[in-house]
Structure 1
């Protein structure tokens, strides 16, 4: 079954044809990418071939999830948000629970939306119809609603009120103990560890299931302190579900979870947690080539948390800001943000009480973030040799530290280790060192085969393709490309089966 619907008298789809021709893909390559992405979504009924791609170009309208898959593939190819409509395709009708980011900032409504969205993800996502029925938001349509995070919430209802928006009117009285709340927090920390070690594709559904259970608890009555703690746990689980979705290529689903996480953090009264969520949204926008949006989101995070964030959190926010400036081709501002990230990290004291969600931001992560900023400057701002020379020692330090972490019991942050090996490979490419690039990418490949991370696989393929383009006559590069083509496809087929 192809997942396409016929129309009567068709006219060639000029929009899709234009994007397709500019992509440089063949029909066969596009078909393979659609099928691979469909498997990640759980849409196993999709089986596309070159003749089907030809019919789309001739004007046939494919059924969901094809329009959203094509939207994501072309968005990633060109580094900007390209919706189904931009491709001349019709997308499916979307319910209020799964569409849009401009949502009401009200506690009961936030609970209801998260509950419904997580239930839809659990029930429909298995068949690939949730993540592909969403649309990405960008520009003012994204940034302006997020700015309302800083607007004070209306006063809580007076005790005894029973209006429809009053938490006291929702459900029955809950009796969560301190140990039960602590166990929920420990479970969330365990999920974070699994994500870092194995990638977003291994336990994403478990996180979504836990999120759904917590929102069920929020529909009961609780004392204000317990309710705020439950909202904080909800925000962390929402953010993690978003990050895992981002890692496996479900970009619209990820954005929706991030938005809902920010709403939950607001209800928890936790500004630093909200800033962390915004930093994840900023990272996603950088990935999608929307550096202007990324900068606005990270500056909103810094402004909103400036009086409450710990030194470690401030350092992370400055590091993300540096990456946004780098992708905008702003060297002076990038260098300033890198310096502030390093200074804030140096301010971390042994007795600092950091929240668990920022524990990941180690010296290795700081070096990785700053190295990628310098590497991105080499791509965007010119002066490749200068910025490559800056990136190399910092990236090498990050790789060294991640290797140490992963050698310890527990496995460490294996996905970050793989991503930074790939990052170092790209630095070697910029320095015209193809053999060193192939060596580092091969090391990353060995890790990638044990990860469920579309992000790692995609970056490996892109790095290999660039190496072949620029140094296709080097034996090490040829071997790398063959191994990535064969071994990544094999490991993905095993996991899909």
Structure 2
């Protein structure tokens, strides 16, 4: 019935090596640090799971192959260890798409066009399937590999070979296009993803039309960066309104465009938001794989601020796996990296959102999530409260991030529920409800409903909780979840 089978091949090599599980774990961690994969932290329980049949993700199979090859003085391929190498590319199926400039432009153009045309009736968002597990992780690992044959994209190649530059986009127009992306990002933070999603998708489709022409290498790179940012923003907005399969598809396409632009830090941001989506969908194992891939792929390029963001999301993934020690370690790394960033300019623009308030919010929600996954609710709720409380205070002073303010009010309400403070929970949720009524974010609406339901289960006889339910039913009707056409 799909149960994992013990990995007899790996077990045989392991027994022959004479290593203990702890020694193999230490060797894997040491080799990972040598190759720059400092995020890998293997222990004896993980080794045991490999022997029991769990398939580790890259670069673990490669590391194990190297370790056993060194141990026995002859090559020990990944396959001989009963492990999976990166699967061959199968274009066109699900999210496993060709990694090439011309294909990327074509795929984004076709998908954005379908979104604009078909989603008028809500068709596109419901006709896709969400991809998870190895079907998601393995294609994403190809982000780490060079472009096919190490050649430039066809558009870049044409310009370098002296063919005429026929593109109609001027320098000032490209500047304006990039500033438009920044404006879209500001609108999203203020008002939620539902109000401007279609405008972003339309702009993305137009940029793909521009990429059909030839430009200088520098202009082409900037266009691919703009394409990546628009596709990512379309994914983020789709996620915010509850269109999860569409969000995932846009994220994947954005990652392809970022690779064409040679923009590793932005590619890592895309993977970070894919991690966030998997946490939202209760797939913390996939979330952890994605954030580790982001950390590994940007290890030489990420700023201190971005490292802090990735560690904070790593903490969220560990919290949802119930691994408190690793959650705390990642949260501390996030705080240390943010301190190192100091007062640096939070450029580029796409990273400016990760403020001190966001750091408190992420770590506070990590501790809150530990309440749900470890059975020690009071201990972790007491640690979550000051973190989320500080996030609430900071966001209350920042009118440009209304959605984040609402989300953290809801997070504080959930902590009040855990602390058995029904009146405070209801009052805080009511504040969030007032913001939710003014923005378009199904993510806010969903979390508000779930927190209210949790309060009702615990305190159904408390008048303020009953009143909160009545207000939400009147102010945030369920039908908002179906308004995905914006």
Match of 1:204 in 2: 197
Deviates more, 1:253-262 or 1:99-108: 99-108
Of 149, 152, 155, which residue of structure 1 is paired with 2:146?
Answer: 152
Counterpart contact for 2:456–2:465, Cα < 8 Å: yes
Match of 1:130 in 2: 124
Of 451, 462, 469, which residue of structure 2 is paired with 1:481?
Answer: 469
Return 5+ residue gaps in structure 2 as ranges: 1-89
Query: Which TM-score applies when normalising by structure 2?
Result: 0.77
Match of 2:211 in 1: 218
SS of match in other structure, 1:347: helix
How is 1:16-415 mapped onto 2 (pairs within 5 angstroms)? 100-154=94-148, 173-352=166-345, 354-406=347-399, 412-415=400-403
Q: How far apart, CA to CA, are the structure 2 residues paired with 1:171 and 1:154?
A: 25
Q: How far apart, CA to CA, are the structure 2 residues paired with 1:452 and 1:415?
A: 9
How far off its partner does 1:158 sit? 8.4
Q: How far apart, CA to CA, are the structure 2 residues paired with 1:487 and 1:370?
A: 30
State yes or no: 1:422 paired with 2:410.
Answer: yes
How far off its partner does 1:350 sit? 3.7
Counterpart contact for 2:241–2:481, Cα < 8 Å: no
Structure 1 256/383 Cα, relative in aligned 2: closer, same or farther at 3 Å?
A: same
How far off its partner does 1:224 sit? 1.1
How far off its partner does 1:491 sit? 9.2
Q: How far apart, CA to CA, are the structure 2 residues paired with 1:144 and 1:309?
A: 22
Counterpart contact for 1:464–1:480, Cα < 8 Å: yes
Q: How far apart, CA to CA, are the structure 2 residues paired with 1:358 and 1:178?
A: 24
Q: How far apart, CA to CA, are the structure 2 residues paired with 1:122 and 1:113?
A: 14
Structure 1 494/257 Cα, relative in aligned 2: closer, same or farther at 3 Å?
A: closer
Q: How far apart, CA to CA, are the structure 1 residues paired with 2:432 and 2:337?
A: 30
How far off its partner does 1:490 sit? 9.2
Counterpart contact for 1:98–1:134, Cα < 8 Å: no
How far off its partner does 1:179 sit? 2.1
How far off its partner does 1:331 sit? 0.5
Counterpart contact for 1:104–1:110, Cα < 8 Å: yes
Q: How far apart, CA to CA, are the structure 2 residues paired with 1:98 and 1:133?
A: 16
Structure 1 124/360 Cα, relative in aligned 2: closer, same or farther at 3 Å?
A: same
How far off its partner does 1:466 sit? 1.2
SS of match in other structure, 1:260: helix
Return 5+ residue gaps in structure 1 as ranges: 1-95, 407-411
Q: How far apart, CA to CA, are the structure 1 residues paired with 2:104 and 2:298?
A: 21
Deviates more, 1:273-282 or 1:170-179: 170-179
Q: How far apart, CA to CA, are the structure 1 residues paired with 2:333 and 2:273?
A: 19
Query: Which TM-score applies when normalising by structure 1?
Result: 0.76
Structure 1 490/120 Cα, relative in aligned 2: closer, same or farther at 3 Å?
A: closer
Counterpart contact for 1:364–1:402, Cα < 8 Å: yes
How far off its partner does 1:155 sit? 5.1
Instruction: Count the aligned residue pairs.
Output: 394
Q: How far apart, CA to CA, are the structure 2 residues paired with 1:209 and 1:167?
A: 27
SS of match in other structure, 2:123: coil
Counterpart contact for 1:310–1:354, Cα < 8 Å: no
SS of match in other structure, 2:213: coil
CA offsets per residue over residues 256-314 of structure 1, 9 Å max, x none? 00000000000000000000000010000001111000000000000110111111111
How far off its partner does 1:487 sit? 1.2
